[in-house]
Amino acid sequence: MHNFLLEEGVAHEIIHLPALATTAHRAADQLGVAVSDIVKSLVFATENGPVVALVPGDRTANLPRLRAALGCRRLALAGPAEVLDVTGYRPGAVPPCGLALDLPMVADPACFAPEVVYCGGGTTTTMLRIRGEDLRTVLGARVAAIADAPQNGSAAPAAQG
């Protein structure tokens, strides 16, 4: 991921966290940022193969909308072994770019709203810091409203993010 962004000439920073951050809430707490500034990279299995969905840390993927955006009938969160196999990263650490395979990707537009966002950094103790607009540009992902509304005060599951 770091080398990919360097090759693309995209300014970014890898931040080392003081403790494990396997959820968006834990990462936000350690970074001192809003959970909505975290971007979760979720891997799903479909009848057409694996895909990545990006959603803000304070939201969950809306499966019917995600199915519609991907044009698939079957959709299930990928298991840990499949996540590692297709991305090269463990669940909870998956970055949005520089994956082992070139996977189809769809992103909720709210992922790019903050000036700066924080994504999985390859390990559960690192995060990628990047401008929201730079992330949108470098990913070239399909953008569609695939996330539910923010959950006020409740912990949104981070899944693999």
Give the model confidence (pLDDT) of 15-58 as tens digits: 999 999 989 999 999 999 999 999 999 999 999 999 999 999 99
Looking at residue 91, what DSSP letter applies? Answer: T
- pLDDT of residue 159 exceeding 60, the answer is no
Q: How many CB atoms lie within 10 A of CB 13?
A: 13
Q: Which residues contact 155 (CB under 8 A, 6 or more apart)?
A: 23, 25
* CATH (domain of 69): 3.90.960.10
Q: How far apart, in whole angstroms, are the C-alpha atoms of residue 41 and residue 120? A: 7
H-helix or E-strand spanning residue 52: strand 49-56
Q: Which of 65, 20, 30 is nearest to 44 (CA)?
A: 65
More confident residue, 83 or 150: 83
Q: What confidence category does residue 152 fall into, taking pLDDT thresholds of 50, 70 and 90?
A: low
CA dist list (Å): 123 to 65, 101, 108, 146: 29, 18, 23, 25
Answer whether residue 156 is part of any domain: no
Q: What confidence category does residue 84 fall into, taking pLDDT thresholds of 50, 70 and 90?
A: very high
Residues spanned by the domain of 95:
2-143
Number of domains in the chain: 1
Q: Which residues contact 32 (CB under 8 A, 6 or more apart)?
A: none
Answer whether residue 158 is part of any domain: no
- pLDDT of residue 65 exceeding 80, the answer is yes
pTM of the model: 0.91
Q: Which of 123, 143, 120 is nearest to 133 (CA)?
A: 143
